[in-house]
Amino acid sequence: HSNREMWFKHFFPPNVCPIDAKANTFYGIMFDAGSTGTRIHIYTFVQKSPENLPELEGEIFESVKPGLSAYADQPEKGAESVKRLLDMAIEAVPPHLWKKTPVVLKATAGLRLLSEEKAQALLLEVREVFEESPFLVPEDSVSIMDGSYEGILAWITVNFLTGQLSGQNQHTVGTLDLGGASTQITFLPRFEETLKETPGDFLTSFEMFNSTYKLYTHSYLGFGLKAARLATLGALNVEAVDGQMFRSSCLPKQLEAEWHFGGVKYQYGGNKEGETGFKPCYLEVLKVVKGKLHQPDEIRGSSFYAFSYYYDRAVDTNLIDYEQGGVLEVKDFERKAKEVCDNMERYNSASPFLCMDLTYITALLKEGFGFRDNTLLQLTKKVNNIETSWTLGATFHLLQSLGITH
Ligand SMILES: O=c1[nH]cnc2c1ncn2[C@@H]1O[C@H](COP(=O)(O)OP(=O)(O)O)[C@@H](O)[C@H]1O
Ligand SMILES: [Ca+2]
C-alpha cells in the first residue's frame, strides 16, 4: 500500500474510498538533451477524477555530462549515455505501466549547432535505444526542439508550478533561461503596443489547459553562456581553431589553458601584457551583445523568473543560496562582476571564466534585453521540489497529444 492510499483512507472509510489511487497513477519520461548535459525527468501524475486535470505528484531527476553533442563523432557512445539514464526509469516505473508510459527526448542548442548529418546520426542511435526499451515510443519521440518551444514550454512549467495557470486571476510571470549554447526570453504581453512593435516570429500562440496564450518568445542561438565565451574570445565560427591562442581581458593575466566544447578543443588565455578587469572586459563582451537582440519596452518595468546559468553563477558568487534561490536586481550581477573581475587573483580557485560569465550576464540583461538596473529577477531552481525546466511543459504537451490528458 502506497502512502497515497493511506492518505485517501484518512478521509474515507475503506469501503467507500472512491478512488483506487494506484489505478489512476501514470508516468511520463522526458529527456532534455542540452548542450552541456543530458537529463532525465520522470514525472508521476495522479488523475483523481475524470473531470479534473491530473495532478503532478512528483519527479525523479538525474543528469549526465557531457551533452550528446560532445559525441558528435561517436553516436553510439552518445546513445549509451541516454541508455544509462533510461535504466533508471525501468527501476522507477512499475512494470505493468511500462507499455503505457511515453518516453521522449528533445535536443536543444548543442545539436542545433552540429551539422545535420552528425545530429541525425545521434538521434537515430537514441531512437534505437528507445525502441529496445519496454516503454511507449510515440512518433517523433527523438528530435531537435524548435527554439520557440523551448521558451514557451519553460514558461508553461514555471507558471504551472507557481499556480498561475489555474483559477481566475492569472498574473503570469516571464521567464529567462540561459543555457550553454542558447538563451530564451518568454512572457505574456499585456499591452497592445507590445504586440504591434514585435516582429511576427517573436509571437507564438499556444494552447494549454483549455486556454490559448499568445506569448512573446525568442531563442537566441549562440548566446548561451558557453557559446558567449567563445564569441568573446573570437573563437566562435572560426574554421581552424587548432594551434590558435584566444586571449581576453576577462581572464586572469597569466592563465593559459584548454577548453572542450561541442567536441572541439580551444586554447585560451589572459592578456599577458595588456589590460584586464571589468572595464575592458565589459567592452569586449558588449561587442557580442550590443544591437543583436530585440528589446521589448514592456519588460523594463516587470520582474522575471530566471534559472539555469543565471542561477548557477549567482550561487557560485554567494548572491543566492543553492537550496533557497532568491530575488536579485540586475545591478547585483554587475556589482559581482566588478568585484570578481577587478580581483581575479582572489577568485582564481573558482572557474577562470567567472569574471567573463558574470560580465556577460550583466551585458546580456542590460544591453541585450534592455532591462533596468533595478529590474527584479526571481532566481529559482525548483518550485515545490520540481525542477524549473521546459521538460514539464513538454510532458503536459505530450500527454495532451496522446489523449492521456485534455
Ligand atoms: O532540470 C533542470 N533544472 C534546473 N536547471 C537545469 C536543468 N537542466 C539543465 N539546467 C541548467 O541549464 C544549464 C545548461 O544549459 P544546457 O546544457 O541545457 O544548454 P542549452 O539549453 O543551450 O542546450 C545549466 O545551468 C544547468 O544547470
Ligand atoms: Ca537547456
Question: CATH code at 201?
Answer: 3.30.420.150
Residues 171 and 202 in one domain: yes
What is the pLDDT averaged over residues 37-53?
89
Task: Please state, in angstroms and as integers, the Cα–Cα distance from residue 365 to each residue in 25, 175, 176, 312, 330, following that order.
Answer: 42, 13, 10, 16, 7
Q: Ligand 2 mean position to 108 CA, how many Å?
A: 7
Residues 284 and 307 in one domain: yes
Phi and psi at 109, nearest 5°, equal: -60, -30
Which letter does DSSP use for residue 1 in this model? -
Question: Is a pLDDT exceeding 70 seen at residue 122?
Answer: yes
Q: Ligand 2 mean position to 199 CA, how many Å?
A: 24
Residues 141 and 171 in one domain: no
CB 8 within 8 Å of CB 20: no
**Dist CA 86 CA 328 (whole Å):** 37
Nearest CA residue ID for atom 3, ligand 1: 387
What is the pLDDT averaged over residues 327-341?
98
Task: Please tell me whether 170 is known to bind a ligand.
Answer: no
Question: Is a pLDDT exceeding 50 seen at residue 227?
Answer: yes
Other CB atoms within a 10 A radius of the CB of residue 249 amount to: 24
* 224 Cβ below 6 A of ligand 1: yes
* 219 Cβ below 6 A of ligand 1: no
pLDDT of the residue at 178: 98
- Confidence band, pLDDT 50/70/90 cuts, at residue 17: very low
**Single-letter residue type at 88:** M
* 37 Cβ below 6 A of ligand 1: yes
* 157 Cβ below 6 A of ligand 1: no
Q: Is there a domain that residue 156 lies in?
A: yes
- Confidence band, pLDDT 50/70/90 cuts, at residue 301: confident
Residues 7 and 156 in one domain: no
Phi and psi at 313, nearest 5°, equal: -70, -30
CATH of the domain at 24: 3.30.420.40
**Dist CA 296 CA 370 (whole Å):** 8
Residues 260 and 337 in one domain: yes
Q: Which of 88, 122, 145 is the last residue of a domain?
A: 145
Which cell goes with 189? 504581453
pTM of the model: 0.93
**Dist CA 363 CA 336 (whole Å):** 13
Of the residues 32, 36, 309, which should be mutated to test ligand 1's pocket, given the most ligand atoms within 8 Å of the CB? Answer: 36
Residues 90 and 189 in one domain: no
pLDDT of the residue at 405: 73
Q: Ligand 2 mean position to 393 CA, how many Å?
A: 13
Residues 140 and 152 in one domain: no
Residues 366 and 303 in one domain: yes
Residues 132 and 169 in one domain: no
Residues 242 and 133 in one domain: no
Instruction: Give the relative orientation of helices 309-316 and 354-363 as an angle to the nearest 10 degrees.
Output: 130
- Confidence band, pLDDT 50/70/90 cuts, at residue 169: low
Question: Is a pLDDT exceeding 70 seen at residue 13?
Answer: no
Atom of ligand 1 nearest to the CA of 387: 3
Q: Is there a domain that residue 391 lies in?
A: no
Q: Which of 7-21, 76-90, 270-284, 364-378 has the lowest mean pLDDT?
A: 7-21
* 308 Cβ below 6 A of ligand 1: yes
pLDDT of the residue at 8: 39
Portion of the chain with pLDDT greater than 70, in percent: 94
Residues 242 and 263 in one domain: yes
Q: Which of 78, 111, 145 is the last residue of a domain?
A: 145
Q: Is there a domain that residue 405 lies in?
A: no
pLDDT of the residue at 2: 39
Task: Please tell me whether 324 is known to bind a ligand.
Answer: no
Classify residue 166 as exposed, middle or buried by CB count within 10 Å of its CB (0-12, 13-18, 19+). Answer: exposed
Atom of ligand 1 nearest to the CA of 312: 25
Alpha carbon 158 to chain centroid, angstroms: 11
Residues 199 and 308 in one domain: yes
Q: Which of 178-187, 254-263, 328-337 has the lowest mean pLDDT?
A: 254-263
What is the pLDDT averaged over residues 79-99?
97
Q: Is there a domain that residue 393 lies in?
A: no
Nearest partner of 296 among 178, 198, 164, judged by Cα: 198
Q: Is there a domain that residue 394 lies in?
A: no
* 154 Cβ below 6 A of ligand 1: no
Task: Please tell me whether 78 is known to bind a ligand.
Answer: no
Nearest CA residue ID for atom 10, ligand 1: 308
Q: Is 123 helix (H, G, I), strand (E, B) or coil?
A: helix
Portion of the chain with pLDDT greater than 90, in percent: 82
Average pLDDT, the chain: 92
Q: Any idea which residues carry the catalytic annotation?
A: 150
Question: Is a pLDDT exceeding 90 seen at residue 264?
Answer: no
- Count of the separate structural domains present in the chain: 2
What is the pLDDT averaged over residues 143-154?
97
Question: Is a pLDDT exceeding 90 seen at residue 208?
Answer: no
- ipTM for this model: 0.98
Q: What is the DSSP string of 189-213?
A: --SHHHHHHS-GGGEEEEEETTEEE
Task: Please tell me whether 182 is known to bind a ligand.
Answer: yes
Q: Which of 126, 145, 164 is the last residue of a domain?
A: 145
Domain span at 303 = 147-385
Long-range contacts of 320-323 (CB under 8 A, 24+ apart): 320/379, 322/381
CB 136 within 8 Å of CB 103: yes
Question: Is a pLDDT exceeding 80 seen at residue 14?
Answer: no
What is the pLDDT averaged over residues 251-264?
90
What radius of gyration do the chain's Cα atoms show?
22
Q: What is the DSSP string of 315-344?
A: HHTTSSBTTTBEEEEHHHHHHHHHHHHTTT
Q: Ligand 1 mean position to 2 CA, how many Å?
A: 33
Q: Is there a domain that residue 72 lies in?
A: yes
Q: Ligand 1 mean position to 393 CA, how many Å?
A: 15
